[in-house]
Amino acid sequence: MLLVSTAIAGALAPAGMALAQSKDANALPELVVTAEKRSSTVQATPISITAVTATAMQERGVTSIAQLTGEVPGLSIRSSGGAESEFTIRGLSSAGGVAPTVGFYLDETPVSPPTEASLGKVSIDPNLYDLARVEVLRGPQGTLYGASSMGGTIRLIPNAPDPTRYAASIEAIGSGTQGGGANGTLNAMINVPVVQDKVALRVIGTLDHESGWIDRVVLSDFPLPDVASTGSYFTAPRGDVVTAPVLIRHKDVNSEDMASIRAALVIRPTDRLTVTPSVFYQRLTQGGPDYYDANPGTLAHYQPYDIAEPLSDTFWVAAVKMNYDFGFASLVSATSYSYRNVRVTQDASELFQKSLGDQGVTAFDPAQGGAGPSSSAEYDPNSQFNQEIRLQSEGKGPFHWLVGGYYQNLRAAYVDSQLAPQAAPILGSTNIYTAHLPDRLEQAALFINLTYDLTSKLKVQFGGREFRAWDRSNGDSTGAFAPPTSQATKAKASGFNPMYNVSYTFDPDHMVYGTAAKGFRDGAAQQPVPASLCQADLASLGLTQSPTRYGPDTVWSYELGSKNRFFDRRVTLNFDGYYEHWSGVQQAVILPNCGYVYTANAGDAIVRGFEVEAREKLFDGLTLEQSLARSHAVFDRSNVNTGTIAGQELLNVPEWTASVSLRYERSITDTLSAYGRIDASYVGRSVADASVRFELPSYTLTNLRVGLKHDDWQASLFVDNLTDAHVLMNAPYSLVINVPGLDRYATNRPRTIGLDLSRSF
């Protein structure tokens, strides 16, 4: 990629290099960001950052963060579809624990709180309609963004209400998915100046339907495992479900519906004071997950009983942001209260039969001594209060400062219920396993950021965040698979996360910088696995029971980077290299003989990598964009208590990612133009861990879009997943137990062709 950029730059070079201040009409536009909590541009901000504007997202047909991951270097996704997406930046994957490694913000509001459920690390993925931009900050952002930003931070920046004019827009998208059905999205925005120049209201609404393409197949005579081949039901290959008689086939069960509304009111009683209350509500429902059975590998899930697997995700947040301009400094207060409840059900009938087979349960039918139908359901309600207040300097002097405080209060009430209504005759109870784990987490922090211009070119920056965290959990579990237990745990954590940055600006178009920063993620309590069932697995790790708590993990990151523009700013080339030492990595530990999973601090890891971004305006109307990233993440020592081995790859980290986009636009009249673009993204192989450790293969996805743009309307035809690539996105853990031969794979949407129409008023 770098060689391509250099070659193109040479082809564009004039006889003598133009001044950086040139106002060439072909110059690439500046991208304004507020990553460091003050306005700047991507090229002037001495950190690794990518910004994607609303215009770019609309042209690409991007409606969610998940669709951006292939185009942002260093950002990858572990997706299971629906509301199940975990983000990774620079190899720091959330393969264990309940807190994410990537912070997720809607304006000033954190919207990815840690929870206790298996989906606790999953960020909401709101529709991106009427956003100003998305900012992706790479590297630890603990100084300004706190815990769970150890890998980086994703910020969604909405358009502010405009008190000077009326405005409205609408967008309708219709498409069809190969092997699925019809999809449709309706977006709308209205901006109303309630009091001219003083008060304005902006409301955005979205309705979205995505068809499914995976079937749920209920068999009338479900085959038992081929126990003769291994001598054990638990490890035996699955029976032949493809040729078994079908009782019911539920087509395309993984269809998804989403409704959201976002509203903000800006109030400017004086020239110095701005108050912006806002609300956001989103509800997502899905008839079934985007999973299919690894065996036999057809796009279906096979069942002995008709048990649906719905998912719902309800989220809302109310926030108030206040800004007061003192002249020499601005005071900013951001207050928010959010609530989220994820409910998910999973069929467990075949899983439990295989796990009970070696204990004499050799049938499904209760009349023949079987356990009958069974399922697992998770309920994960949590609420969070956040308050941040900061004072930051204004003006153009050599010294810039920012000081602030932060408080968070999180309450979660995770429930896992595994029931078999007809199993009492063989298990003594219909309750296989039920766990309740209410949790309360409080955090308080003080932070500071100081920047001093030693010369007009040399700048030094120091940041620090002093924090305290308190976690209190009261858990209990009951059921046939576990004796009744009750536990109450408390934990405290404290620390200081520093950040050091030095940058040198040669001229307005060329900069080098270096950063050293520390990141942090909380630990948490967890329910122990059933010791009686998992005794052999635990003994192999030198344990008598699984840990009821795991500690925090931290990372030190060291980065060198450069930002450059060439040839009248028609070429932009940014690159960086980094080294990370990750201590106490929170990682899932799978017990292979009983199928249960818990989290432990697996040891230390080393991550090395680099990122390159290039954009070239080849000539009027034709633009080329490329990115390339490498992230080599491995454990640096073995740990007998978790089974990790020195040199072993971290889970869910693709070593290589790359993207390329080519866009062409040509004017037809003064107000009408035609455009076309093709976008391709590559994600390298990674290692996943379900019932066994295995490899997810690399893949490439390509999207094509052509359209017409007018001053106030736009129409485009698109093909997403042009080559109809079938991708193994993830091998998600079971909500129950992980049984060999019964893994399920999450996959991507097949080729989708559609029409996108939008109009602004």
For residue 169, list its beta bridge partners.
Answer: 189, 760
Tell whether the model's pLDDT for residue 706 goes beyond 50: yes
**Distance between CA 601 and CA 592 in Å, rounded?**
19
**Distance between CA 112 and CA 153 in Å, rounded?**
11
Tell whether the model's pLDDT for residue 120 goes beyond 90: no
- At 17 the pLDDT is 31
- At 24 the pLDDT is 64
Could you report the per-residue pLDDT of 467-485, keeping only the tens digit for each? 998 988 888 888 887 777 7
**353: pLDDT confidence band, cut at 50, 70 and 90?**
confident
Q: What is the mean pLDDT of residues 675-694?
A: 87
Tell whether the model's pLDDT for residue 409 goes beyond 80: yes
Percentage of the chain lying above the pLDDT 70 cut: 94
Range of the domain at 643: 2-760
- At 113 the pLDDT is 61
Helices (H), 589-715: none
- Of 18-27, 161-170, 323-332, the range with the lowest mean pLDDT is 18-27
Q: Provide the domain count of the chain.
A: 1
**Distance between CA 403 and CA 321 in Å, rounded?**
17
Could you report the per-residue pLDDT of 728-760, keeping only the tens digit for each? 988 887 877 888 888 899 999 999 999 999 999
What b-and-e string marks burial along 665-703, b requiring 16 or more CB atoms within 10 Å of the CB?
A: beeeeeeebebebbbbbbbbebbbbbbeeeebeebebbb
In one-letter notation, the amino acid at residue 79 is: S
**Distance between CA 329 and CA 689 in Å, rounded?**
50
Tell whether the model's pLDDT for residue 361 goes beyond 90: no
Q: Which residues contact 694 (CB under 8 A, 6 or more apart)?
A: 687, 688, 731
Q: What is the mean pLDDT of residues 643-663?
A: 92
DSSP string over 679-738: EEEEE--EEEESSSEEEEPPEEEEEEEEEEEESSEEEEEEEESTT----EEE-PPPSS--
Q: What is the mean pLDDT of residues 255-276?
A: 97
Could you report the per-residue pLDDT of 593-602, keeping only the tens digit for each? 888 888 899 8
**CATH number of the domain within which 322 lies:** 2.40.170.20
Q: Could you tell me if 736 and 344 are in contact, meaning their C-beta atoms sit under 8 angstroms apart?
A: no
Structure-token match 């060198």, residue found: 560
Phi, psi of 311 (to 5 degrees): -135, 140
Q: Which residues contact 294 (CB under 8 A, 6 or more apart)?
A: 731, 742, 743, 744, 745
- At 68 the pLDDT is 84
- Burial of 712 by CB count in 10 Å (0-12 exposed, 13-18 middle, 19+ buried)? exposed
**Distance between CA 486 and CA 349 in Å, rounded?**
27
- Burial of 494 by CB count in 10 Å (0-12 exposed, 13-18 middle, 19+ buried)? exposed
Q: Could you tell me if 63 and 605 are in contact, meaning their C-beta atoms sit under 8 angstroms apart?
A: no
Tell whether the model's pLDDT for residue 32 goes beyond 90: no
**281: pLDDT confidence band, cut at 50, 70 and 90?**
very high
Q: What is the mean pLDDT of residues 675-686?
A: 95
- At 22 the pLDDT is 40
- At 118 the pLDDT is 52
Tell whether the model's pLDDT for residue 13 goes beyond 50: no
Could you report the per-residue pLDDT of 125-140, keeping only the tens digit for each? 788 899 999 999 999 9
Tell whether the model's pLDDT for residue 690 goes beyond 70: no
Tell me the average pLDDT of the chain.
89
* DSSP E strand stretches across 421-457: 431-453
Nearest to 703 by CA among 715, 686, 716: 716
